[in-house]
Structures are given as structure tokens and as C-alpha cells.
Structure 1
Amino acid sequence: MSEKNREGKRTARERLAEERAKQKSAEKRRRVLIVGASVVCVLGLAAVIGVVAANSGKDDKQASGPVVAPSGANGQDSLAIPVGEQGAKSTLVVWEDFRCPACKAFEAAYRPTIHELTGSGKLKVEYHLATIIDGNMGGTGSRTAANAAACAQDAGKFPGYHDVLYENQPEETSDDYAENAKLLELAQKVDGLDTPAFRTCVEKGTHDSWVDKSAAAFRNGGFSGTPTVLLNGKNIYQDQTMTPAKLKQQVLEAAKG
């Protein structure tokens, strides 16, 4: 074999090895890295908590019904579910997925502070629902749970049901939330939510197309993953020094004017 042929084969092997390395790296980026709750107190440690890549797989099973926004939804295309006083000087925008473990970690660490600030009228939260775990892991639990949460918004029970969904979140690889029976069972944990109207909304998938529209907005929004958390337009999830106490301090300072 000539030196030229040997060089050509060596170069081909190198290209193949490089391509395999790229594919392996891309696969790793599609996985969620989760660490124990003891380190979740620092919001900005995306590498520790784990972020689900926003441009990963999509849910191919799109709903075909009309887009029906839940009661009180606002913002562009009525895709935000608001919580808190609308006159609050600070706004927290949260993009999340009910199957996302990193979203659960964020909720566990920051929920008491967020509840305190919304309850005192100093913070309003706009929740946007995504379905990227359905695309990454397969299944429909992200969308089905989001529809149920929108049904809870119709009933004026979104905050309570939102928290219950995260408190009872199944393993990431489990699609338990695809089952309406599971979502209806969890509704019994929220006073006054388990009604015929709520059950019909969940079982008919009343807000499925709205959830799909929200998920598309997330994919097209240039976000890096869930959760994405913006305080007054600034992505605080990327702040390595962010803590619940710091979030509270910033909101209180904004409230003073």
C-alpha cells in the first residue's frame, strides 16, 4: 500500500472517530443531570441541577382541536398563567415542564419564597408550560399534565394543583402523567378541584392545542432548557450566586421603588 493510500485511510478513520465523538457528545447533552436536593438551594448551578435541552426531541402527536386558552391566561397569545397581584412591580416568568426533574428541584427550593412574595403582593409570576420531556423521553405526560393544570386554572385552583403535580412527580422515565386517572386522583389533594367540570376538561383534553402552542413558543423562543426563570426580564437561572434569599431581596428592593 502506498504512503498516500495509508494517509487517506488514516484521515478517514480520524473523521469517523470525530463524528462518533460529536454524536456521543450530543447524546449526553440530551440527558438530564440531577443532584440531591441539598445542593439545589443555589439556583444558578445549571450544571449541577441539570437542564433539559430545549432543542431536543419534539412531541410528534399534536392535538387537532381548537386552541382554547385557560381562564385568565394573558400575555402574548394568552400563553401565560398568572399568579399574584397584577400590579406587583416585579414579574417572574417561569418556563417549566411537569415531567422535568430540574423543574421540580427549582420548585422545591424556591416555592416558599415565591409563595411569600406573591402572597404579599410584591411579585407576580407568569407560568408557561412546555412539553420537552415528552419529546426527549417519549410519551405524552408533559402535555397531559399541562392540560390538567390549565383545567385547574379554569377552576381557580392552578397554584395548588401546580404544587401537587411537582410534589408527586414520577420518575423522568415514567409516563404516569399520561394517565388521566392519575391526574384526577391528584386533584383530590386540592380542596374543591375535583368537580365534574374539571374531570370533563381533563378527559376531553380541552386545552391540549393550547399546550401545544405554548410548547411551540418555548421551542422557538431561543431558551436553553427548563426551567427557564426570568426576573424582570433577566435570566436569573444563569446567576451562579442566586438563592431564595437573594431573589427575595431583589423583589423587595424593586417594591420600594
Structure 2
Amino acid sequence: MSEKNRDGKRNARERLAVEREKQKSAEKRRRALIVGASVLCVLGLAAVIGVVAANAGKEKNSASSGPVVAPSGAQGKDGLAIPVGKDDAKSTLTVWEDFRCPACQVFETAYRPTLHELADAGKLRIEYHLVTLIDGNLGGSGSRRAANAAACAQDAGKFREYHDMLYTNQPKETDDAFSSDARLIELAGKVDGLDTPEFQKCVKDGTHNSWVAKSDKAFASGGFTGTPTVLLNGKNIYQDQSLTPAKLKQMVEAADKG
């Protein structure tokens, strides 16, 4: 073998090794981000009782008063789950999430393409449960108002599109921007066909506020430790640090094949 060929092969191996190290570093950064963000959302459970008590009053009463109005098509126990995907899918992913939670946004960013692909292929049904953990932790009403707006979008048949729009435009955790009806309606304008008089009224009236409060109560009584809580066919899978979108896809496709 010529010296030139040996040098070429050695250089190729070196480039491959460098690329592998880059991929490992990127994966470590991604996992660190997920773990770090998850800690922020878990902290809410420790403080929620004291903070909610301290902030009891008009805002709290407006969140829980009135009849419980579930959004159109809500399913599951007490009608607290917003379904995405086909009912006959062999796998069900249950997601408890808060639109103000940064860890939820990290999960959505990393897993959204895979979830869309599997749901559209009829292999996965997703049940979204909306909670208000960050409102309880930091005060404000953005978690609840965004959840109500998402339920209003479900009434209009635009839940997934608006759900994704909220996470794409999620403010910093300490910025209660989603407490503004005007902001929520502005984002609805970015979803084709959603910004209608009916949607606006639903948002402004807080039509589903009591439903959101009931969902949040179910989260607290369920013994969950933070958001996002992600269950595949009843098993908590997001706690597994080895979980990746590719691994989730493999699990769902294996179940689909029986």
C-alpha cells in the first residue's frame, strides 16, 4: 500500500473519530438541557401548596368557578384527555404538560417530529393532559390561560397546530406572557382558520377554566413528580435517561407489529 493511501485512510479514520466525538458531545448537551429544564418544572410541586394559598383570591376563584366544560372530543377519565391520532392505534402516549414549563418545551422540540410521524401513520395515539404547575410555582395565570386557549383550539379542530404554536413561542418561565388573552389570540392568528369570533370569545370568557383546574387536580392526585410526565401504554418512559426519539419510535413500531 502506498504512503499516500495509508495517509488517506488514517485521515478518514481521524475525521470519523472527530465526528463521533461531536455527536457524543451534542447528545450530552441535549440530555443536560432536558435534565436541567426538568428540575425547574419539578420544583413547582414542592412550592405549589404554599404559593397557591398565599395567592388565593380573585384569580384563583375565577380559575375554578363555573361549570366544568370539557373541550369537544375530550376523552378518558372525566373527559380530561385531548386525543391526537387514531383511536385504534396500538400504542397510547399520555403526556401531562404545562405550556409555561421549559422542560415541556424541550420535550416538544426534541420529540415533535417523531410524534407527528407516528400519529399520522396511525401507530400512536397521544392523550394530552394540561396542568398549571408553573402558575402555582411562580404565580400568574399563563399556564391556565394557555391551557384554556388550547382547549378552545380543540373545539375548533385545531388543537395540535395551536399546541405546537404555543411551544414554539413559549416565553421565559418567569415571563407570564401567556396570561394575556391578546397574545394568545395573536398566536391563534398564525394557525390557519383558528382566529375566529368563537375562538376569541372562548379565550376571553375562560370557557374551559374549570376543566383545566380539574385536570390540574387530577395531576396532583395522580402522584406525578413534575412536567412533562410521559407514559407509554401506562409506563413512565421519560424518566429513562437513555430514551431518544429513535428509541421511542422503535418501541411504538414494535407494538404496532404485534
Please classify the TM superposition score into its range, dividing by the shorter chain length. 0.7 to 0.9
Q: Distance in 2 between matches of 1:104 and 1:72?
A: 24
Q: Distance in 1 between matches of 2:169 and 2:28?
A: 20
Q: Distance in 2 between matches of 1:56 and 1:96?
A: 18
Which residue is 1:127 aligned to? 128
Given that 2:98 and 2:132 are in contact with CA atoms closer than 8 Å, whether structure 1 keeps it comes out as yes
One-letter amino acid of the structure 1 residue matched with residue 160 of structure 2: P
Which residue is 2:70 aligned to? 69
Q: Distance in 2 between matches of 1:176 and 1:187?
A: 14
Given that 2:34 and 2:107 are in contact with CA atoms closer than 8 Å, whether structure 1 keeps it comes out as no
Q: Distance in 2 between matches of 1:163 and 1:39?
A: 25
One-letter amino acid of the structure 2 residue matched with residue 165 of structure 1: L
TM-score (norm 1): 0.82
> Deviation at 1:197?
0.5
Identical pairs, percent: 66
Distance 1:141 1:39, change over 3 A: farther
Q: Distance in 2 between matches of 1:226 and 1:246?
A: 20
Structure 2 stretches lacking a partner, 5+ long: 1-25
Q: Any idea what SS the aligned residue of 1:82 has?
A: strand
Distance 1:65 1:40, change over 3 A: farther
One-letter amino acid of the structure 1 residue matched with residue 243 of structure 2: M
One-letter amino acid of the structure 1 residue matched with residue 38 of structure 2: G
Given that 2:38 and 2:226 are in contact with CA atoms closer than 8 Å, whether structure 1 keeps it comes out as no
Given that 1:148 and 1:202 are in contact with CA atoms closer than 8 Å, whether structure 2 keeps it comes out as yes
Q: What is the 5 A alignment of 1:225-244? A: 225-244=226-245
> Deviation at 1:244?
0.2
Given that 1:40 and 1:49 are in contact with CA atoms closer than 8 Å, whether structure 2 keeps it comes out as no
Q: Distance in 1 between matches of 2:100 and 2:220?
A: 16
Q: Distance in 2 between matches of 1:129 and 1:172?
A: 16
Which residue is 2:220 aligned to? 219
Which residue is 2:38 aligned to? 50
Which residue is 1:181 aligned to? 182
> Deviation at 1:56?
3.0
Q: Any idea what SS the aligned residue of 2:192 has?
A: coil
Q: Distance in 2 between matches of 1:236 and 1:194?
A: 36
Q: What is the 5 A alignment of 1:1-257? A: 39=28, 41-42=30-31, 47-51=35-39, 52-53=41-42, 54-58=45-49, 59=52, 60=56, 61=60, 62-257=63-258
> Deviation at 1:47?
3.4
Given that 1:56 and 1:132 are in contact with CA atoms closer than 8 Å, whether structure 2 keeps it comes out as no
Which residue is 1:12 aligned to? none
Q: Any idea what SS the aligned residue of 1:77 has?
A: helix
Which has more helix, going by share of residues? 2
Distance 1:228 1:121, change over 3 A: same
Deviation string, structure 1 residues 74-97 (Cα, Å, up to 9, x no partner): 000000000000100000000000
Deviation string, structure 1 residues 212-247 (Cα, Å, up to 9, x no partner): 000011111100100000011111111111000000
Deviation string, structure 1 residues 147-204 (Cα, Å, up to 9, x no partner): 0000000000000000000000011001110010000000011000000100000000
One-letter amino acid of the structure 2 residue matched with residue 50 of structure 1: S
Q: Any idea what SS the aligned residue of 2:47 has?
A: coil
Structure 1 stretches lacking a partner, 5+ long: 1-36
Given that 1:97 and 1:142 are in contact with CA atoms closer than 8 Å, whether structure 2 keeps it comes out as yes
Q: Distance in 1 between matches of 2:75 and 2:186?
A: 28
Q: Distance in 2 between matches of 1:42 and 1:120?
A: 28
